[in-house]
Amino acid sequence: MTTIHDVARHAGVSAATVSRVLNGHRTVDETLAGRVRAAAEQLGYQPNILARNLRKSQTNLWAVIISDVNNPFFTSLVRGVEDVAQQAGYSVLLCNSDENPDKESSYVTAVLAQQIAGVIISPSTRSESIAQLVDGSRAVVTIDREVSDVDTDAVLVDNERGAQAATAHLIEQGYSRIACITGPNDVTTATSRLRGYRDALREAGRPYDDDLVRFSDFRETGGKQAMADLLDSGVRPDAIFATNNLMTVGALETLAERGVGVPDPIGVVGFDELPWADLVRPSLSTVAQPTYEVGRTAAQLLLKRLENPAEEYTTITLSTKLNVRDSSRR
Amino acid sequence: MTTIHDVARHAGVSAATVSRVLNGHRTVDETLAGRVRAAAEQLGYQPNILARNLRKSQTNLWAVIISDVNNPFFTSLVRGVEDVAQQAGYSVLLCNSDENPDKESSYVTAVLAQQIAGVIISPSTRSESIAQLVDGSRAVVTIDREVSDVDTDAVLVDNERGAQAATAHLIEQGYSRIACITGPNDVTTATSRLRGYRDALREAGRPYDDDLVRFSDFRETGGKQAMADLLDSGVRPDAIFATNNLMTVGALETLAERGVGVPDPIGVVGFDELPWADLVRPSLSTVAQPTYEVGRTAAQLLLKRLENPAEEYTTITLSTKLNVRDSSRR
DNA sequence: CTGTTAGCGCTTTCAA
DNA sequence: TTGAAAGCGCTAACAG
């Protein structure tokens, strides 16, 4: 293995100069710099990243902490992060927290121990982990969910507007008893989307009825149960707005099992695009989030933060897009 | 930050002894060991992983090099790897090669430079990258595709049997002009699955007709085009066996666009399970691969290899499962 | 602008 | 069984 000293000897300079040239630090005489670059090239020199890491007490790694790579919402987000990271010379560590605060916290500990440069995290409900990261002076960007108590850069999506558009669309299609299956009420995405739903009802002069709302868990089984419950409880909804992709799937399962027709008698719109929304019959109306863009944007914020740790924190909110398909059109 | 020396001083021993105790090396007097552990506990000592990495010229990182996290086939595989890795104290770097040998090779270079401990890779067609990894004496496990020339541990799936079962099922359902849309003929998964298709025809005493076979690219657009081509070319297939998930989606798109009914007049079976196979109408018959298990198994092989680099190479072949649903039942 | 020097914190010979 | 000491390869403070 060729080291920086080999290059130095070969170029007739000191190791420090080689380091300066290769890292673009300070100004180095062009003649020397040329000799160094030539020597490095000739010897096929590859800097030892581990040594650099130790010296700088920092790795060239990012961690992305999400609840589950199996959720298509996250895969394309991860993809967006990775594309930016790679270009900037960082590698991406993948951490699945499974919405489990303990698992999340154990990853945070690992991140701190590994001296990861930066973290992009979709936080679970507790904010301690985030605080821990910020205290450990890691660059942190939160995505998807808002965190109170702790200041960080953040990339969010306009959940309220998205939910409002979805609900307004159902109203406009003539549905009158629109139910909402949302997530846990301590998760901001769940409450924002519920708020959008309520706003749309109010704007249309429709009553808001608690009986038509179910707080579930953002999981498939939860959506399935909530849907069954809505059908069984006698509230007779004629449309469903489900606030994430997994619960939408669950709701559809119940409807299919019971032989209830979509969009008639029951219309469906789900939050989150699904790769197969166009393929199902009827095709599924969704509120699409720009997931790849969320990942890209978060990565860019992280990059900025690493370059300039003192800068003001930024929150970027991206827009959703309502994709009207057959499941809500009658 | 507390270092190993702090612990040593606090326990009244040398740093070397602390290291030995904490790594379980050699035999250390139980009294001293106890003092060391107590001191470490008390000071909240966390070993500096970066220093250890440098010293050992190796990280506690694994890389998973796949073509694209957006493909559900890979997400659950990655999940399987991560679950094992985390338990064993490794972290997982995610690398999307996009089936692009250059990108793959650039990741391999990065892996070598980062001194990653082990690599799990779904190799593109060229085997140079694998050779490079093996030469660089990284522990390597290949998955999904067979690699000639280079010896590694491997986890495969019984593609031939899976394809055969799918085709036999179509025959049994009374389809007589069964087409096959397969991948590039330099990719082993494509050729194995085609072989299975052919075997099934032969066993049933059916003719094998080149005109009913299309070599495509394992992508959605490729499957879409191949399907269109089959419909337009006058060969009049009455069933389709598509050899991966993305091409199955493409084929279904063409069928939907043209208003061709499934399973009548055309039956469809796809290789690879899809999370929504049950949700589409008609539900989609698939050859399911145990993707999570593939990931788990690969990770376990990697672990073994790291423990004992000299061991014989193993290839583990897992079985597929035919999930018969409505798209192939008439 | 360049070189010397001093570590980063750990593991692992080597000698006791 | 234990400790002293060396050094992994790099960067950055300092001196020239």
Tell me, in Å, how far CA of B30 is from C1' of D10?
38
Candidates B69, B92, B115; nearest CB to A75 = B69
CB A112 within 8 A of CB A132: yes
Task: Output the furthest CA–CA distance in chain B (Å, rounded).
Answer: 86
Cβ atoms < 10 Å from Cβ of B110: 19
What would the mean pLDDT of B247-263 be, rounded to a whole number? 94
Express as a percent the part of chain B with pLDDT over 90: 74
Q: What is the predicted pLDDT for the residue at A270?
A: 98
Express as a percent the part of chain A with pLDDT over 90: 72
User: How many contacts, defined by CB atoms under 8 Å, are there between A and B?
Assistant: 110
Query: B164: exposed, middle or buried (C-beta count within 10 Å: 0-12, 13-18, 19+)?
Result: buried
| A249 contacts B276? CB cut-off 8 A | yes
* CA–C1' nearest nucleotide, residue B20: C11
List protein-proximal bases of chain C (any atom < 7 A from a CB). 1-5, 7-13
What would the mean pLDDT of B7-19 be, rounded to a whole number? 91
Query: B95: exposed, middle or buried (C-beta count within 10 Å: 0-12, 13-18, 19+)?
Result: buried
Question: Taking the C1' atom of D8, which residue's CA lies nearest?
Answer: B55
Q: What is the predicted pLDDT for the residue at B180?
A: 98
Residue with tokens 């590994």: A114
Q: What is the predicted pLDDT for the residue at A103?
A: 87
- pLDDT band at residue B310 using 50, 70 and 90 as cut-offs: confident
Give the pLDDT confidence of A221-255 residue by residue, as tens digits.
Answer: 999 999 999 999 999 999 999 999 999 999 999 99
DSSP letter for each residue of A193-262: HHHHHHHHHHHTTPPP-GGGEEE--SSHHHHHHHHHHHHHTT---SEEEESSHHHHHHHHHHHHHTT--T
Buried b (16+ CB within 10 A) or exposed e, B248-287: bbbbbbbbeeeeeebbeebbbbbbbbbbbbbbbebbbbbb
- Where helices occur in chain A by DSSP H, the ranges are 4-11, 15-23, 30-43, 49-56, 72-87, 101-114, 128-135, 159-172, 188-203, 220-232, 245-257, 291-307
What would the mean pLDDT of B141-158 be, rounded to a whole number? 91
- pLDDT band at residue B114 using 50, 70 and 90 as cut-offs: confident
Asked whether residue A1 carries a pLDDT value surpassing 90, the answer given is: no
Alpha carbon distances (Å) from A41 to A14, A24, A72, B42, B200: 17, 16, 43, 49, 56
What would the mean pLDDT of B241-250 be, rounded to a whole number? 96
Calpha distance A192→A159 (Å, rounded): 6
- pLDDT band at residue B148 using 50, 70 and 90 as cut-offs: confident
Give the pLDDT confidence of A279-320 residue by residue, as tens digits.
Answer: 888 899 999 999 999 999 999 999 999 988 888 999 999 999
Q: What is the predicted pLDDT for the residue at B26?
A: 65
CB B35 within 8 A of CB B237: no
Give the pLDDT confidence of A22-81 residue by residue, as tens digits.
Answer: 988 767 888 888 999 999 999 999 999 999 999 999 899 999 999 899 999 999 999 999
Give the pLDDT confidence of B62-77 residue by residue, as tens digits.
Answer: 999 998 999 999 999 9
- Residue B306 backbone class (left: φ over 0; alpha: ψ -120 to 50; beta: rest): alpha
- pLDDT band at residue A327 using 50, 70 and 90 as cut-offs: very high
What would the mean pLDDT of B279-295 be, rounded to a whole number? 94
* CA–C1' nearest nucleotide, residue A7: D9
Mean pLDDT of chain A: 92
